[in-house]
Amino acid sequence: MPRHFLSLLDYTKDELRGLLDRAKWLKKQQKAGKKHHPLEGKTLAMVFEKSSTRTRVSFEVGMYQLGGHALNITSQASQLGRGETYSDTSKVLSRYVDCIMMRTFEQSRIEEVASAASVPVINGLTDLLHPCQIMADMETIEENKGNVSDQKIVWVGDGNNMANTWIQAAILFGFELALACPKGFEPPAIILDKIRSGGYSNIKVFNDASEAVKNADVINTDTWISMGQESDEVEQKKKLFRPFQVNRSLMSHAKKDAIVLHCLPAHRDEELTSEVMDGPNSRVFDQAENRLHAQKAILEKLMG
Ligand code: CP
Ligand code: NVA
């Protein structure tokens, strides 16, 4: 059975710590112009059922920098779009490539691909989780603030795949995590039950953004409407989320040197004002860059 990367909870804190440290080392190597080709001759298949800029480019460039190769497969341009099953697709890809990265809808879909695969499968975002992104985000936090376990991290906005993955990270790393979501848009029961049953008192859910943001070291937000949720109630939802905008006034409740993160793409002046996104506390573009380094560490671990 290959080792997959579908959820942070498939790994121990020590293993994720190892990946974070490796990501920082890989970044240094790359910045120093040093070549590092542990994946020579290896190929990654990238399967996209949703749009992507960062995930697509950082995985492809990451494979190239590690001496390997990546190929892009979309559902429309492959037989997936004509109904070939996930499990058959996975078995076929496993005969050609050394690893599969997939971006899709239900978590069960990537689990189906992983259970049929004879090579490692990486979660490049599902409706439930976005683990590669949170690895890059933790790397960014450590570059700016020191050990992630010592921070107060705040999530402001929708209880979505990003929020869920932050909860998993807080379960493992033990940092204080405050989530501020509008009523009815908190993370799903499957995630909240985990907090309750595990007694994780470091994780709290609020319906008031300024209360959650108090004393924050890190403020995170994301789109109010995730891929696949583009429903008719968009305008109504935007109104409801308005008090959860990360702006100058909300920032005044956080520590003065708090950093602001957004996995991007941002809807400027909706969830995050341009003033904050382009301001001195923002680290959103470092965070985007760190996708490359964090994922290289994952690729190396799974295929190296
Ligand atoms: N943050 C992120 O996953 O970006 P893309 O959707 O562009 O891949
Ligand atoms: N929550 C967003 C993240 C995009 C990277 C989405 O799923 O669309």
Q: Hey, what are 181's tokens?
A: 């979501």
Distance 139 CA to ligand 2 centre (A): 19
Catalytic choice (217, 263, 283, 295): 263
From the CB of 227, is ligand 2 less than 6 Å away? Answer: yes
Alpha-carbon distance of 48 to 102, in angstroms, equals 6
The count of other CB atoms within 10 Å of the CB of residue 32 is 7
* Pocket probe mutation, ligand 2, options 58, 106, 158, 160, max atoms within 8 Å of Cβ: 160
Structural contact between residues 283 and 144, judged by C-beta atoms closer than 8 angstroms: yes
β-bridge mates for residue 74, sequence order? 48
- What pLDDT digit, counting tens, does each position of 158-192 carry? 999 999 999 999 999 999 999 999 999 999 999 99
Phi and psi dihedrals of 138, rounded to 5? -65, -35
**Does residue 283 have an active-site annotation?**
no
List of domains in the chain: 8-130+290-303 (3.40.50.1370), 134-287 (3.40.50.1370)
Secondary structure E strands in the chain: 43-48, 69-74, 99-103, 121-123, 152-156, 176-180, 203-206, 218-221, 259-262
The count of other CB atoms within 10 Å of the CB of residue 223 is 21
Q: Is 125 left (phi over 0), alpha (psi -120 to 50) or beta?
A: left
**Does residue 229 have an active-site annotation?**
no
Task: Report which residue type is found at 123.
Answer: N
Ligand 2: nearest atom to the Cα of 225: 8
Place of tokens 């990451």: 62
Walk along the chain (304 residues) and give the pLDDT tens digit of each residue: 899 999 999 999 999 999 999 999 999 999 999 999 999 999 999 999 999 999 999 999 999 999 999 999 999 999 999 999 999 999 999 999 999 999 999 999 999 999 999 999 999 999 999 999 999 999 999 999 999 999 999 999 999 999 999 999 999 999 999 999 999 999 999 999 999 999 999 999 999 999 999 999 999 999 999 999 988 789 999 999 999 999 999 999 999 999 999 999 999 999 999 999 999 999 999 999 999 999 999 999 999 9
Catalytic choice (127, 137, 158, 222): 222
